[in-house]
Amino acid sequence: MSLLAVEGVSRSFGGIRAVTGFDLTLGEGELVALIGPNGAGKTTVFNLISGVYPPDAGTIRFRGESLAGLPPHRIVDGGIARTFQNIRLFRDLTVLDNVRAAHFGRTPTSIWSALLRTPGCRRDEREVVDSSRRYLAALGLDGDAETVARNLPYGRQRRLEIARALATRPSLLLLDEPAAGMNPAEVEEMMGLILRLRREFALTVLLIEHQMKMVMGAAERIVVLEFGETIAEGTPEEIRTNPKVVAAYLGGDVP
Amino acid sequence: MRFYLQQALNALQVGSVYALIALGYTMVYGILTMINFAHGDVFMVSGYVAFFVSTALIGSQLHLAPAVVFAATLLASMFATALLAVGIERVAYRPLRRAPRMSLVITALAVGLLLENLAIAFKPVGPSPRMLPQLIPSTTIVWGGVAFSAVQIVTILVSATAMVGLDLLVRHTRIGIAMRAISWDSALVPLMGVPVDRIVSMTFAIGAAVAAVGGTLYGMTYTIDPYMGIRIGWWAFISAVVGGIGNVRGAMLGGFLLGAVEIFTPVFLRSSTYRDMVAFSLLLVLLVFRPTGILGSPAAQKV
């Protein structure tokens, strides 16, 4: 059974059709890239999957169950986490607290135990801190735990977004341009990181990215969007040589 | 000197009550950027819950120890008031979450008026002031020439406990972190698996329960009436703004500052009529020179 099944999903904003009849199936453990020109509807697909807004038509199933009508925090509890194209951290909280906040759904705490500071609650809070530090370590951020998020350098803010998403313990991770604004060496590093995290945390990854080096190097399958519609789907090799894709997106100079 | 120490102790007592109420204003503002103008009247309701519960317990044939009556009264008032605040949020504020801020402010004012007038219309409450039965023996300890009444000591200790507890909750638990996260980016929080509505309900419940501690303690020293939430609510609101609205420690600091204004204005100006003038002047001057309050940080503009 597929992990994620998106079928015939459409969404418009006013008169603009952001996504039209979008289909996507992700198998357990796959790493799939979603590419296309700016405004093609890639982030809209992420917003639809993560429940930021509902689709106008079509269904989204995760582990066979429809996500229709579920509020975003329930979808996260179900095992889908995401990062953001324009970094959205809790900028005034420390790096550690950013990751702690993302533990809420996984280790529910009742208001009574928190107010009374029961031993169980103290233990839970300690476990959350330990677990948060493990995620920070996995992203190489262990030295920055007490730094306020907005003071982190850009590349580390990107990593923190991924650490925070992982802390919700997803099985499907949606990465929205994790390598945006990075130089070739950093892109290389980010690619290695994503591949390692996928192994370490048994993730299925859906990746939006413009850095072709990363897309071609990491993805097993690529879906190409243009004007909200899928114009091609296939292996990196097939996409690289697909004339429609070359014309719409990659341009003449294919890497 | 003794006289001033005595007044400082009084200021601490009054200030604790302002601080406890100010916490509710500041917490709700912190996560919803909304001034909950009904909060002062929620405080008033807590005073009446304490009145009815303590009267019933003392009038009953249970012969409970005074400490038990006090504890039961405090807890009952906290619980009932928290329920009321959660109900108000659910019915009146939540449907307006996406509405312009002004609609929420007007709704909150209306809820406050509703509570005041319901209290007056409700026969057992009525418009006339009431006294809580004596829950704490009226003993006084004289120490260093300053007279500490038992009620003062209890008020200060219980308030301090509530404030320290709340500060720990906000700083060190996931609920507190979630509250701070919501105040930063409420659209983002659910995408990290945090149920925003539940956190908002908890915030209202905690804010009201803390105000109920204030309401019960206040009712043990002063008379309560259906309009008490207006003046005290305003003073507590000024406390929150002076301390830096949205900042929990600021609300506490502001509360004690306003307690000092209340007690020392008559001392220095020889008349209590100027109290409100001094309090509001303090607010105005502070807003000119430090609009974010004493401990508030300048609001970061999101681009």
Cα→Cα distances B122→A120, B116, B118, B125, B172, Å: 43, 10, 6, 6, 42
**pLDDT tens-place string over residues B163-177:** 999 998 888 888 888
* ipTM exceeds 0.90: no
Q: Do B175 and A52 touch (CB under 8 A)?
A: no
- What is the pLDDT, as a whole number, of residue B302? 35
- From residue B46, how far is each of B29, B32, B41, B229, B252 by CA, in Å? 21, 23, 9, 10, 20
Which of A73, A236, A84, A223 is CA-nearest to residue A157?
A84
Distances from the Cα of B195 to the Cα of A74, A75, A103, B36, angstroms: 8, 11, 12, 21
Check pLDDT > 50 for residue B301: no
Task: Dump pLDDT digits (tens) for B35-49.
Answer: 999 999 999 999 999
Q: What's the mean pLDDT when you consider all of chain B?
A: 91
Q: Are residues B191 and A72, on separate chains, in Cβ contact within 8 Å?
A: yes
Instruction: Give strand pairing partners of A68.
Output: none
pLDDT, tens digit (0-9, with 9 covering 90-100), for B127-146? 899 999 988 888 898 888 88
Return d(Cα A147, Cα B63) in angstroms, integer: 56
Residue type, A59: T
Cα separations in angstroms, B219 against A102, B46, B50, B131, B237: 41, 9, 8, 7, 19
Higher-confidence position of B297 and A180: A180
- Cβ contact (<8 Å) for A101 and B205? no
Q: Which residues of B touch A90 (CB under 8 A)?
A: 180-181, 184-185, 188
Query: Averaging pLDDT over each range in B11-25, B161-175, B278-292, which range is the top one?
Result: B11-25
Mutate to test the interface with A, among B78, B164, B177 (most CBs of A within 10 A): B177
Cβ-proximal residues to B82 (8 Å cutoff; 6+ apart), any chain: B204, B205, B206, B208, B209, B212
Across the interface, whether the CB atoms of B192 and A76 are under 8 A apart is answered yes
Q: DSSP letter at B133?
A: P
A238 is written with which tokens?
């097939």
CB B194 within 8 A of CB A104: yes
Cα–Cα distance measured from residue B240 to residue A34, given in angstroms and rounded to the nearest whole number: 49
Q: What pLDDT does residue B207 have?
A: 96
pLDDT in tens, chain A (255 residues): 799 999 999 999 988 899 999 999 999 999 999 999 888 999 999 999 999 999 999 999 999 999 999 999 999 999 999 999 999 999 889 999 999 999 887 665 666 666 666 777 778 888 889 999 999 999 999 999 999 999 999 999 999 999 999 999 999 999 999 999 899 999 999 999 999 999 999 999 999 999 998 999 999 999 999 999 999 999 999 998 888 888 877 765 544
Question: Using an 8 Å Cβ cutoff, are B217 and B16 in contact?
Answer: yes
Highest mean pLDDT pick, B64-68, B212-216, B265-269:
B212-216
Residue type (1 letter), B6:
Q
Q: Verify whether the Cβ–Cβ distance B174 to A100 is below 8 Å.
A: yes
Size of interface A-B (CB pairs under 8 A): 91
Distance CA B271, CA A23 (A): 77
Which residues of chain A does CATH 3.40.50.300 include?
A: 1-79+170-255
What does each C-alpha distance from B272 to A193, B276, B277 come to in angstroms?
A: 68, 9, 10
Provide the β-strand partners of residue B130. B224
DSSP B199: H
Residue B299 has pLDDT above 60, yes or no: no
CB–CB of B194 and A105 under 8 A?
yes
> How far is residue A170's CA from residue A81's CA, in Å, rounded to a whole number?
6
Residue-wise pLDDT tens digits, B209-258: 999 999 999 999 999 999 999 999 999 999 999 999 888 999 999 999 99
Identify whether the C-beta of residue B30 lies closer than 8 Å to the C-beta of residue B183: yes
- Pair of tokens at residue B22: 């100010």
Has residue B201 got a pLDDT over 50? yes
Query: B98, B166, B174: best mutation site toward chain A, by most A Cβ within 10 Å?
Result: B174
Interface of B with A (CB under 8 A): 165, 168-169, 172-175, 177-178, 180-181, 184-185, 187-196, 202, 205-206, 300
Q: What is the DSSP letter of A102?
A: T
pLDDT at A160: 96
Spell out the SS3 assignment of B225-260: CCCHHHHHHHHHHHHHHHHCCCCHHHHHHHHHHHHH
A72 contacts B174? CB cut-off 8 A: no
**Nearest partner of A107 among B197, B173, B182, judged by Cα:** B173
Residue B92 structure tokens: 């009146």
B146: phi then psi, degrees, rounded to nearest 5: -105, 135
Tokens linked to A248 = 């719409």
How many Å apart are CA B233 and CA A137, to the nearest integer? 47
- Structural domains in chain B, CATH included, are 2-289 (1.10.3470)
Query: What type of residue is B80?
Result: A
Pairwise CB contact (< 8 Å): A91 & B173: no
Name the fold adopted by A1-79+170-255: Rossmann fold (3.40.50)
| Burial annotation A128-149 (CB, 10 A radius, 16+ → b, else e) | bbebbbebbebbebeebbebbb
Q: Contact at 8 Å (CB) between B257 and B241?
A: no
Indicate the pTM of the whole model: 0.86
More confident: B92 or B184: B92
Q: Are strands A172-176 and A80-82 parallel, antiparallel or unpaired?
A: parallel
Nearest Cβ partner for B174 among A72, A92, A104: A104
